[in-house]
Every structure is written in C-alpha cells, then in structure tokens.
Chain A
Amino acid sequence: MRVTCPWCGERDRREFTVQGDETALRRPHRDAPPEDWHAYIHLRDNPAGRLREMWYHDPCGTWIVVERDTVTHAVHGTTPAREAAR
C-alpha cells in the first residue's frame, strides 16, 4: 500500500504507524458528559467502504488524516491532521 505524506510524498506503508479512526480529532470538552467521553475513547465504526483514519509518518513526525477504502484498499487522499483538526 502507498500513502502520500503531505510533506514527503508517496511512501510505502511500512513508513507509517496507523492509529485508527479520525474520531481522535474530535476530543470532547473536559466536563463533557461521560457518554461523550465513552464514545470518544471506545466507540468506532467499522465500515465496509470509505474510512478516515489517523496515520503517523514516522520519519518526519507528521500526523495525517488518510481517507481510504476498506474494501478496495484504495487511498483517496491525505490531509495533514493539523489542517483537518481546524
């Protein structure tokens, strides 16, 4: 699998660490209800199809949001997480 790091270009997947669903981008407020925290920490969709995930490019230390398809394994795009988080 090939993933494009926004700074380094297209690289083999072995250069990356994948963390999982992009839910991590949407951290609840400190005093949010427990249900929100439960959803943030534990609940993840498992779609057959497009998915947005957090990937880390180890050599340059950039967190990236990768949109890929869990059925075809096609990578549809990557965004620096810093921009996606805004």
Chain B
Amino acid sequence: MRVAGKGLYQGAPPVSFRFDGVAWHGVEGDTLASALLGEGVRLMGRSFKYHRPRGVLSAGSEEPNALVCVDGVPNTRATMQEIWEGMEATSQNARPSLRFDVLAVNDWLAPFIGAGFYYKTFMWPRSFWERVYEPLIRRAAGLGRLDPSAGPLLCEKAWAFCDVLVIGAGPAGLSAALAAGRAGARVILADEGARMGGRLLAETDPLDGQPPHLWVERVLAELVQMPNVRLMPRTTVTGVHDGGTFAALERVSLHRAPRADLPRECFWRIVARRAVLCAGAIERPLPFPDNDRPGVMLAGAVRAYLNHWGVAAGRRVVVFGNNDDAHRTARDCHAAGLTVAALVDSRPEAAMPGAPFPVLPGARIAGTRGRLGLSRVTVEGPQGRQEIEADVLAVSGGWSPSVHLACHLGARPVWDDRLQAFLPPPGGVPWMTVAGAAAGEFTTAGCLRDGWRAASAALADLGLRAPDPDLPEAEGQAPAQGPFIVVEGRRQFVDFQNDVTVKDIRLAVQEGFCSVEHMKRYTTLGMATDQGKTGNVPAIAILSEALGSPVAATGTTTFRPPYTPVSIGAMGAGGQGMGFAPRRLTTSHAACLDRGAPMIEAGLWYRPGYFPRPGETTWRQSCDREVTMVRQAVGVADVSTLGKIDIQGPDAAALLDFVYCNTFSTLPVGRVRYGLMLREDGHVMDDGTTARLGGNRYIMTTTTAAAGQVMRHLDFVTQVLRPDLDVHCVSVTEQWAQFSVAGPRSRDLVQAVVDADLSDAAFPYMACAEAPVMGVPGRVFRISFSGERAYELAVPARYGASLYRLLVAYAESLGGGPYGMEALNVLRIEKGYITHAEIHGRTTAFDIGMERMVSKTKDCIGWAASRRPGLLEADREQLVGLRPVAQDGVITAGAHLYRREDPATRLNGQGYVTSACWSPTLGRALGLGFLRRGRERHGEVVRLVDAMRGVETLCEVTDPVFLDPKGERLRG
C-alpha cells in the first residue's frame, strides 16, 4: 500500500513489471520488494524444505525469503532487485503456483523430517540412495533453478586503487568519506544500495533539524565534486583478501533491461592502503510459533519501506520487540496514519510515555494466523492472552553489527553482553578500521563521529592530516536492548531460508552436535544463500541456552568471503573462450590458414598440423605426403615458436658451460652444438641447439614448451647462483621469425635467398652465420630435426610473413612445399630425435643414452645429483626404438611393454611407449619408448599392450635411430 506524502520517490516516473505473469506497477527507485508491497502483495516465495508461504522479511541484502528469478537469474533477492520497465520476475520452489504448492504437504510432515532426517531415514536399501532418494529429495527441496538454455551473464572485471576504501555509505561511511575526501586522499566509497545513505534514508529523526536524506544529498553533492573521490553505488564489497586487496561486485546494469553493450555485473579487485568498514548492522528476528508468515517482517524493514519507499507493509501493525528501537517503528507507522494495534515488548520495564497506541510490556507473541498472509496474532502477557487482528507484525530482536568483513582474515568476533551483540575483533584486519553500527555504535550522532574518527586514524597512517570535524546535530540516544527471548511452541523459525527451527537446534545438541560448527552442519543453519545473516546470532543464543553456557563461550562459525553471493560468471569475467589465454601467432599464421591448415595449440602458440591438398581426405594422407616430400625434395616449416635467447658478455661461455651438462666454451665461432640442460636433481630439463655467433655472443634455442621455464632458469643462474658472471640473457623469441628448410634439395632453395657461400666445404653440418637473406640482415644455421640436410633461416619478425611465402613458393618449384607438425613429428621419430614426450621430467641423460655428454671436468647444474647411483643403474628404463614384428602392427603412445611370455599386469611392466607414428619412409609403424635395460635388449621381441585402446602388438626392440644411423643424409 502506497502512503501519500511518504518516501523519497514521490512523483517518480511509473514503472510496470510482471510477477508470475501478473502485471504490477511501481515507480523508479522501487525494489521489487517495495513495489510488490506497494501493490499489497505479501506472498513472494515458498520455503526451501517445508514449502511454507513466505513474504519479504527484510529490506536489504540479508533477505532470506523473497528470492525470485529475474531475467533467467535465479535466487535474486527481491529486496535488492530494482524494477525496470517490462521486467519479468517469477517465483521459485512452488508447483503449480505460489498460492497452491502441492509440496506444502512437507509442512505437515515436518515432525518427521527435522534436522538430520536424511541421515536416519534414507539408510536402506543402500542402492536406493542414488536412484530413488536423492532424485526425489532434489526435486522436492531447493531454491531457484538455473536455466540451461540461458547464455552466460555478460560480466566484466576491473581493478581499482585507492588510499582509503570506505565500505558502506550510511552515516558512518558518509562521514568517513567526507573526512578522507577533504583531506585529499584518493577515496572509494562503495555501497551495496542503489541509493547511498544507508539507514539515514529509512529514518525520520532529523539531522541538523532536517529530514536526514537532505543531509545525505548535501554530502553526496560535495563528494561527487571531488576529483579524488569515487562513488560506487550498487557495489557490494564481498571479500577482504591479503595485502589490502578487496573483492567487490558491482551490479552494473541489473537494474535495467539487458543491453548487449552493457555488462550485467563487474567484479572489482580494489587495492586500498587503508579501509574503513561502515557496513552497519542487521536486525535479528525473534523465534516464536509460526513466526514466518507473509506479513511478519523485521521492524527496521517495516520502517525502511515506509520512510524510504513510501510503502506500508499493511494497514494494521503489531510491533513485537525486546528493545527501544522497535518503538520507532510503532511511532513512524502511527505518524504515517497506519493503525498500530499494539506495541508488544518482552521487557517488563518497557515503556513509551504518551504513546497513542496500546503498549504491552512484559508480553510476547505466542502465535500467528493466516494461511497465505498474516491475519491475527496471539499475545500473551501479564494482561492475559488476547487475539489481535493485524496484517503486519514488525519484529525486532535487536541489531547485529555486520562484522563479516572484519573476520575474513580469520579473526573471531567478540561477544558484548551489554549490547547483546558480536563486535568486530580488534585488529582482525590490520589495515581496516570498523566504525558506526558495524562496531556497535547504534546512535546516528555516534556513527557520524565514529566514521570521522576512523577516517582520521586512517589518514594519520597515510601521513595525511584530517580536517576538523564538521558534523550535523543528530539523534544521540542509544536504544536500550533487552535480553534475547524464545517464545516456546512449534515452528519457531530461526533460519528462514533453510527452514531451521529452534527444535532443530535443540535436537542437534541432544544428539551431540554441540559445537557451533557441528550444529551448523547438522541442521544446515546459515548454509543457504543468505549465509544466515539474520538467523545466526539468534541460533547461537539458542544453542548456548541449550548447552547452558554463555554466548561468548559458544562463539560463531567462520566468516568467509563472499559476503553476498557472487556468480561464477562475474568472478571469471573475461576468462571465457579467447579470454582464457592469450594467443601467440607466428608470422606464417595467415599463410597457413590460406592453405587450409588446421591449427593446433602448442602452449599458447598455434601451429599448422598439416597442409591438405585437393583429394586428401584424412590427416594421414597429407602427413605421409609431406614426410615423403621432405625425404625426397624439400619442405618448409615455421620453427619460430622455439625459444630463442640471446646471450652476450665476456662470461657467456662460462654461463653455458654451467647450465648445459656439455661444454660450449670450446665451440668455435660459426658453429652450432646440441646441448642438454639438467635440473639440479639430475634429470633432464630441456634440450636444444646453441650457436656461437661471436666470441662473446651465443644464440640459445629451447623447446617450444620450455621456453619460459628456461628463461626463468637462466635468470635464476645469473642473478642467484652465479652473480659473478658478466653476462646478459634476453629472450628474442618474438623478435625473430625462423624457418626450417629440410630435404635433399634444401641447399638449392636456401642458396637462392641467402647471400653466402653454402657449399659443404664452407658451410658444413652444424655451421652458422649471419648473412643477408633477400637483402635483410639474417642468420643461417645448418641444423636438422628430420635427419635430412636442412637449414634454418632467421630474419627479424617483420619480414617473417613474406619470407615464409617466398620459401614455400620456391619449395613448390623444386617439388616440395610446406609441412606441418604431424610430418615434423614423424620425421623426428624416424630419426630417433627426442622431444618432451621423452624428456618428460623423470628421465636422465643416462636414460636417453646421453650420459657421456655430462662433462666430468666441470661443474654444471645437475652434475652432482646426476652422479647418484640410482640414476645410473643398468636396470633403469632406457630409450629404445620399437618396430612391430608384423608389417601391419600398430603402436600407440602410452602403451605398456611386457616380456613376450608375461601376463600384462602392472607388476610385470617393463616400460612404456612415449611416441608413435606411421612411417611412410619405412612402410610400418614406429615407436620410441623406455624399456628396462633397453640398450641391452636390441633384437628382443616384447609385447606392447594398450588396454585402453585394445591394442596388443609384438614389437622388436631396436636402436632409437631407425633411419640413416650414420648421418650421411644429414651431412650430404
């Protein structure tokens, strides 16, 4: 019901929306909850377990009951969702309708399905759990449903930095922001509401003799003018993390119709040097029989709807509380022209002098009536028992400071007997001060002072001088708070969202779940999407009473981020699809796509798999052709993805001798050498070639996979282990485009573009030179990863695209062409060259047959550990080649090897296959693998078993080099 002359949105434009298909109207500024209440709708949801009719309880993010689905997003709190023109909201957890829900039968079954009933009831037969019980329970219980057809919410992520982060824009927060802003600090003021002001928008007590929202407007107008202050409304700070980093969720456009160009939410990471937490307080309900009917609301919420939104939750109001703050609701409702049927106060000494409505001290609500909405309450007290008609029952059990964020780093809140509340732990977050109601200060004047004080302290820490306080005159009478009470009877709900009652908590104690953490998990109290913001403190009081111990001894459960729910889509914003990882493209990328090559991922890089020609329908046809092309003519491949590190300085050779197990100081200028790099534990880290371009100048090549790791390793060696060396290492991977030209006709091709003498006498295998490539300063290396005569040409990356196209065109004129990763892999397996499939982190130089490369005359990384007896045992698995005995035998990577006569069981394992291919050159499958004592077993037949793919093949063990073991093709 709208109340004429009340609220901050009088005269605001009307907005129409639908709830469960029915058209309703509100005004701009309304939340879904205030708009529905304004239209007289009290029933907004059904409870989780018992499907009891529920209405809105609160006016903020703590709402447990009024959860709806808006625009495909389930579990949206009606108290936070602003309405927009054309909005469609639907209720949840009710079938067929909110008014008639068949599963309300659960409510009659409540005596049998209390806390822990799952554990007791669904024990037998065991197989029924998965097939019968669980599906049934899942269908019966629950909140909203995700719509699987809906796309992900469009979300963003962002970073922000400030000197002072002020969390909450109520009286304390505005005061703190004003102080910090005037002092010149970089300030962020974040508030979860759409309109800043917090409780000041919900109260009528004057500030400086005026309605409080006018002071709020004045302060906001000043803050908005300050270039050093950023106001972030609709932004909930959800987590406190290490080092002054805060998580915050901004509802960027959830308050308006979706638009493709607007993110729905933004997940912020705010880095603040200091923070002031002014999160306010959350009112607690009181447990009494049937305290959950639509129309039973928190007293502060009734006041907020009336004063902020101009909406009366009903016409006849009964107020029930144990504190003076509840009296304000009775006062404001009466002043707005509503009927206050009674003010029921549990404290015998309670009084409200001159109240124009009945005040019943020492009384309590013993029950309520009304199936889909409150119609009557039963009051018991010194005056006896009476029934009072009412459509709103405003309840207040006092206020709990919002200490959550102050506890996110692990500190526990401290119970205060006088305030009957948990207070934030001192120093719980070293760089954050708590002020206002969140710190237990419950007067407006006190909040204003406290906010200013907290900001001044933060400013002092930052070396800034706080301005003199400039605060309005405000109400300063702290409301008296009586003890917590429980009215005995049935169905006194404590956690409304998870349907946990007083009885459930007592049952938990009776069954031995006495610790607050155990009680929580046994009853599921505080485990719903509201995380028990309203119910936890009452529950702790009930638990303490049942245990006969003080509340302080019972303590709280652990506070963890997020403060309010954060969608996974917001947290992972930007991380979907192409946003997941950057893409590294070679200079030949476009040319490869032009030729229809499917690109495959190699780390962050994309490389061509193969280059299909007309008529080729499988990758194998293309791959076989490309292998044969390289063996018989010439092929071109982009090898730019290999790591390239430029190493310069007088001690460059000494560095290489230290990081490689073999020696590089003896390498002549103009020559290349293969190097093996060990980890300090003696296993192989990486391999590659390093070229000596000058006396103090080398170019190191790493594998594609280990490029980053090797660069980090070189930095470690030069900065930490050998800072004595005068040498510098720079990654130039992206600065150079490099292409392999391989095959018997490779020299013809390379000679056509390089201005240097490439005769075998002048430029033999493993030579290198700086030489013009088509007139561009480039480099030529005579190295091979295929076993054929081969060259690698390097040019500055900006020439890569055109050089690649040129090389491929020349190659085609010589009967060759481009080849991809598949062919590259077959070529290297045929020649027995290793990759990270073989040097997978558990193999040593000994295992791959290179232990003689580990120089005995110098120190190097991994030298000491590589000498360990266990790493040199003859019984270790050693690199071998595998060739099927039958021409058509199949070899698969990952298969295991057994003696021919042994059963294929784990204990009989003799080794495994690391690489496999079909060799068009040899006309059969080939494999590389590791076999126990493999080097002694060449010629033996072993059994290869791949249980997963159902492959079993007899293979002959061979030398890993299948082709041209003498290297005649290589040297030409």
Centre residue among A32, A61, A74, A85 by max chain B CB count within 10 A: A61
Please determine whether B711 and A61 come into contact, CB atoms closer than 8 angstroms: yes
Q: Within residues 17 to 49 of chain A, which ones have a CB less than 8 A from any CB in chain B?
A: 17, 19, 24-25, 27-28, 30-32, 34, 37, 40-42
Please determine whether A81 and B680 come into contact, CB atoms closer than 8 angstroms: no
Complex contacts, B681 vs chain A, CB 8 Å: 41-42
Complex contacts, A17 vs chain B, CB 8 Å: 712
A13 to B716 Cα, complex, angstroms: 19
Q: Within residues 649 to 699 of chain B, which ones have a CB less than 8 A from any CB in chain A?
A: 680-681
Please determine whether B711 and A2 come into contact, CB atoms closer than 8 angstroms: no
B682: nearest residue on chain A (CB-CB)?
Answer: A41
Q: How far is the CB of A31 from chain B (nearest CB, A)?
A: 8
Complex contacts, B430 vs chain A, CB 8 Å: 74
Please determine whether A1 and B242 come into contact, CB atoms closer than 8 angstroms: yes
Besides A30-B863, A34-B868, 5 other CB < 8 A contacts? A2-B242, A2-B244, A54-B716, A72-B409, A82-B720
A36 to B723 Cα, complex, angstroms: 22
Please determine whether B271 and A41 come into contact, CB atoms closer than 8 angstroms: no
Complex contacts, B719 vs chain A, CB 8 Å: 62-63, 80-82, 85
Q: Within residues 853 to 871 of chain B, which ones have a CB less than 8 A from any CB in chain A?
A: 859, 863-865, 868
A56: nearest residue on chain B (CB-CB)?
Answer: B712
Question: Could you name 25 residue pairs across A and B whose Cβ atoms are closer than 8 Å?
Answer: A1-B242, A2-B271, A3-B243, A12-B271, A17-B712, A19-B716, A27-B721, A28-B864, A30-B859, A31-B864, A32-B864, A34-B864, A41-B680, A41-B681, A41-B865, A42-B681, A56-B712, A58-B712, A62-B715, A63-B715, A74-B242, A75-B243, A81-B719, A81-B720, A85-B723
A31 to B715 Cα, complex, angstroms: 24
Closest 3 CB pairs of A and B: A2-B243, A30-B859, A1-B242
A22 to B743 Cα, complex, angstroms: 49
Centre residue among A25, A62, A73 by max chain B CB count within 10 A: A73
- B245 CB within 8 Å of chain A: yes
A73 to B680 Cα, complex, angstroms: 29
Please determine whether B721 and A85 come into contact, CB atoms closer than 8 angstroms: yes
Complex contacts, B721 vs chain A, CB 8 Å: 27, 85
- B241 CB within 8 Å of chain A: yes
Complex contacts, A85 vs chain B, CB 8 Å: 719-721, 723
B868: nearest residue on chain A (CB-CB)?
Answer: A34
Q: How far is the CB of B373 from chain A (nearest CB, A)?
A: 50
Q: How far is the CB of B965 from chain A (nearest CB, A)?
A: 35
A37 to B864 Cα, complex, angstroms: 7
Please determine whether B723 and A82 come into contact, CB atoms closer than 8 angstroms: yes
Could you say which of B242, B409, B720 contacts A63, with CB atoms under 8 Å apart?
A: B720
Q: Within residues 542 to 567 of chain B, which ones have a CB less than 8 A from any CB in chain A?
A: none
B721: nearest residue on chain A (CB-CB)?
Answer: A27
Please determine whether A1 and B864 come into contact, CB atoms closer than 8 angstroms: no
Complex contacts, B245 vs chain A, CB 8 Å: 1-2, 12
Complex contacts, A80 vs chain B, CB 8 Å: 719
Complex contacts, A12 vs chain B, CB 8 Å: 245, 269, 271
Chain B residues packing against A (C-beta within 8 Å): 241-245, 269, 271, 409, 430, 680-681, 711-712, 715-716, 719-721, 723, 859, 863-865, 868
A21 to B721 Cα, complex, angstroms: 15
Complex contacts, B720 vs chain A, CB 8 Å: 24-25, 54, 63, 81-82, 85
Asked, given contacts A2-B242, A2-B244, A30-B864, whether A56 binds B715 with beta carbons under 8 Å apart, the answer is yes
Q: Within residues 49 to 70 of chain A, which ones have a CB less than 8 A from any CB in chain B?
A: 54, 56, 58, 61-63
A33: nearest residue on chain B (CB-CB)?
Answer: B864
Q: How far is the CB of A10 from chain B (nearest CB, A)?
A: 8
A31 to B857 Cα, complex, angstroms: 12
Q: How far is the CB of B862 from chain A (nearest CB, A)?
A: 10
Q: How far is the CB of A2 from chain B (nearest CB, A)?
A: 3
A19 to B720 Cα, complex, angstroms: 13
A42 to B681 Cα, complex, angstroms: 9
A3 to B243 Cα, complex, angstroms: 8
Please determine whether B243 and A1 come into contact, CB atoms closer than 8 angstroms: yes
A19 to B717 Cα, complex, angstroms: 14
Complex contacts, A28 vs chain B, CB 8 Å: 864
Complex contacts, B863 vs chain A, CB 8 Å: 30
A85 to B889 Cα, complex, angstroms: 57
A62 to B272 Cα, complex, angstroms: 25
Please determine whether B723 and A73 come into contact, CB atoms closer than 8 angstroms: no
Q: How far is the CB of B240 from chain A (nearest CB, A)?
A: 11
Please determine whether B711 and A1 come into contact, CB atoms closer than 8 angstroms: no
Q: How far is the CB of A73 from chain B (nearest CB, A)?
A: 4
Complex contacts, A73 vs chain B, CB 8 Å: 242-243, 409
Complex contacts, A82 vs chain B, CB 8 Å: 719-720, 723
Q: How far is the CB of B488 from chain A (nearest CB, A)?
A: 45
Q: How far is the CB of A82 from chain B (nearest CB, A)?
A: 5
A85 to B863 Cα, complex, angstroms: 21
Complex contacts, A86 vs chain B, CB 8 Å: 723
Complex contacts, B715 vs chain A, CB 8 Å: 56, 61-63
Please determine whether A63 and B716 come into contact, CB atoms closer than 8 angstroms: yes
B860: nearest residue on chain A (CB-CB)?
Answer: A30
A37: nearest residue on chain B (CB-CB)?
Answer: B864
